[in-house]
């Protein structure tokens, strides 16, 4: 069977597409302005390749920080425009202030205005075109799910939430359960009709969600083998879920955890760990110096808004389950836990007004650079939790203590990926991201977390 499908860009392809065309449209716009309006501040030519490289680097870095490559946030005109204005403003400002590898500032300052609005205007035109055409249903990826013992509506929602361009167009139930269990209008397909359905509906992929131990009937198995033989993509659900959502499906690991969860080689890679410790030291020294400069202002704010001790410490669980004391700036009223340990809640009344500001800006975390310098923590890793909560969560959530195979972090994949949570379900959700980091840990993922942390600080999303 010859594969027929609509055009669809995978997640990685769309991110590459966005980055490449961001640069192409900006350079093309500047070149057109230079040609028709006698604009000579920035010229695209072989003689000025350094100008182009520096501008492209700034553009991609700041667009990343301002979430313009977050595919869940690239389909809203208002959000995209707001983030484009922020990214363009910071990019142009940094570019103008960069010496040596950028053009000299023009004598006619109006050219700076032209440079900025050309930069912003071309990005807006391209990104709006992307929303209109590339993000339209014609580029959606339609898939068929095969499996048993699952809620097809839940799976469809998980996949489509992770990737707005991913849609479940049908399913095959290997257990032949009552179709009334499906709470969404998703067509149920007979095994015999699968090949014809793929042709008719332009299905791009089959996702198999059958349990590892349950297997599947021979008739379905033979059909899937036929599809594989002609090159049709068939993938396992956990692999797709992990790729789309950047987290581990904890509920499906069960007794097969160690078989299907290979730990990242970086966890034992001495070269990676060496450089990881180096940038821990460098960032902690920089953080302590900057924090020392801010202390007088924080002290004054604490004096007025908190009225109590500036610092406080708590016992947290670190690597290999060892306990250590974490240092933070106080954000709650004194004696906030007189009745015993309790999770902080969203809009917690125990948090002072100044304390809320410290949390939103992440300034309350600055003293933890001391813990990083000591080696209790790392800059990046799962957030350390209190022993009383670890004990409770370990009873409720399988594999929760696996978080402790590496050092806890000042920031982490869970912190930059999801919003605040204070329930068992929220902790399970966070664990999925923590396990993903442990599994995929490496310099590239560390860089992604660092850039997303900057976004968290800039948009005041601290908790």
Burial class (CB in 10 A: 0-12, 13-18, 19+), 40: exposed
What residues does 170 pair with on adjacent strands?
144
Q: Phi/psi of residue 377, each to 5°?
A: -135, 170
> Rounded CA gap, 189 and 193, in Å?
7
What's the token pair of residue 350?
A: 């125990």
Closest CA to 22 of 78, 64, 73: 64
Domain 140-245 fold: Rossmann fold (3.40.50)
Q: What per-residue confidence (pLDDT) applies to 213? A: 45
- The parts of the chain modelled with pLDDT lower than 50 are 3, 149, 212-213
Location of structure tokens 């849609």:
167
Closest CA to 202 of 144, 146, 278: 144
Q: Phi/psi of residue 2, each to 5°?
A: -85, 130
Closest CA to 199 of 243, 150, 241, 232: 232
Residue 142: CA atoms inside 13 Å, Cβ hemisphere, count? 20
Strands (E), 16-135: none
DSSP per-residue string spanning 295-314: HHHHHHHHHHHT-S-SEEEE
Closest CA to 89 of 65, 116, 66: 116
Closest CA to 77 of 141, 125, 36: 125
Q: Give the residue extent of every domain in the chain.
A: 11-134, 140-245, 265-458
DSSP 251: G
Q: Phi/psi of residue 386, each to 5°?
A: -80, 145
Widest distance between CA atoms in the chain: 77
Given a contact cutoff of 8 angstroms between Cβ atoms, the answer to whether 202 and 4 are in contact is yes
> Rounded CA gap, 366 and 364, in Å?
6
- SS3 (DSSP) at 98: coil
First vs last C-alpha separation in the chain? 53
**Mean pLDDT score of the chain, rounded to an integer?**
85
Q: What per-residue confidence (pLDDT) applies to 117? A: 96
Q: Distance from CA of residue 357 to its chain's centroid?
A: 24
Q: What per-residue confidence (pLDDT) applies to 266? A: 72
Q: What per-residue confidence (pLDDT) applies to 379? A: 95
């Amino acid at each position: 069977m010859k594969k027929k499908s609509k055009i669809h860009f995978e997640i990685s392809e769309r991110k590459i597409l966005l980055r490449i065309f961001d640069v192409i449209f900006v350079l093309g716009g500047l070149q057109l302005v230079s040609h028709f309006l006698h604009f000579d501040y920035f010229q695209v030519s072989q003689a000025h390749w350094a100008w182009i490289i520096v501008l492209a680097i700034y553009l991609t870095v700041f667009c990343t920080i301002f979430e313009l490559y977050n595919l869940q946030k690239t389909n809203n005109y208002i959000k995209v425009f707001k983030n484009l204005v922020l990214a363009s403003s910071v990019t142009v400002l940094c570019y103008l202030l960069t010496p040596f590898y950028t053009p000299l500032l023009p004598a006619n300052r109006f050219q700076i205005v032209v440079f900025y609005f050309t930069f912003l205007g071309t990005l807006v035109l391209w990104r709006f075109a992307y929303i209109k055409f590339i993000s339209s249903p014609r580029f959606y990826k339609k898939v068929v799910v095969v499996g048993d013992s699952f809620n097809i509506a839940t799976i469809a929602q998980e996949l489509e939430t992770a990737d707005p361009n991913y849609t479940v167009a049908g399913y095959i139930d290997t257990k032949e359960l009552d179709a009334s269990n499906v709470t969404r209008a998703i067509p149920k397909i007979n095994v015999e009709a699968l090949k014809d359905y793929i042709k008719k509906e332009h299905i791009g992929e089959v996702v198999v969600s059958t349990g590892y131990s349950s297997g599947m009937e021979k008739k379905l198995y033979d059909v899937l083998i036929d599809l594989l033989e002609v090159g049709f993509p068939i993938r396992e659900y956990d692999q797709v879920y992990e790729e789309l959502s950047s987290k581990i499906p904890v509920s499906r690991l069960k007794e097969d955890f160690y078989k299907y969860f290979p730990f990242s080689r970086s966890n034992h890679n001495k070269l990676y760990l060496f450089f990881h410790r180096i940038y821990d030291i460098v960032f902690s020294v920089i953080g302590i110096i900057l924090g020392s400069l801010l202390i007088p202002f924080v002290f004054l704010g604490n004096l007025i808004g908190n009225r109590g001790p500036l610092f406080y410490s708590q016992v947290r669980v670190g690597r290999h389950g060892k306990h250590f004391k974490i240092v933070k700036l106080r954000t709650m009223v004194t004696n906030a836990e007189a009745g015993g340990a309790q999770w902080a809640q969203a809009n917690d009344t125990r948090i002072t007004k100044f304390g809320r500001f410290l949390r939103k800006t992440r300034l309350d975390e600055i003293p933890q650079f001391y813990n990083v310098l000591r080696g209790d923590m790392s800059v990046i890793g799962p957030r350390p939790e209190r022993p009383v909560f670890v004990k409770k969560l370990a009873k409720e959530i399988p594999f929760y203590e696996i978080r402790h195979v590496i050092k806890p972090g000042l920031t982490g994949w869970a912190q930059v990926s999801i919003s605040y949570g204070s329930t068992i379900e929220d902790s399970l959700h966070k664990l999925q991201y923590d396990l993903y980091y442990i599994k995929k840990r490496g310099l590239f993922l560390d860089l992604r977390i660092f850039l997303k942390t900057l976004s968290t600080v800039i948009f005041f999303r601290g908790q």
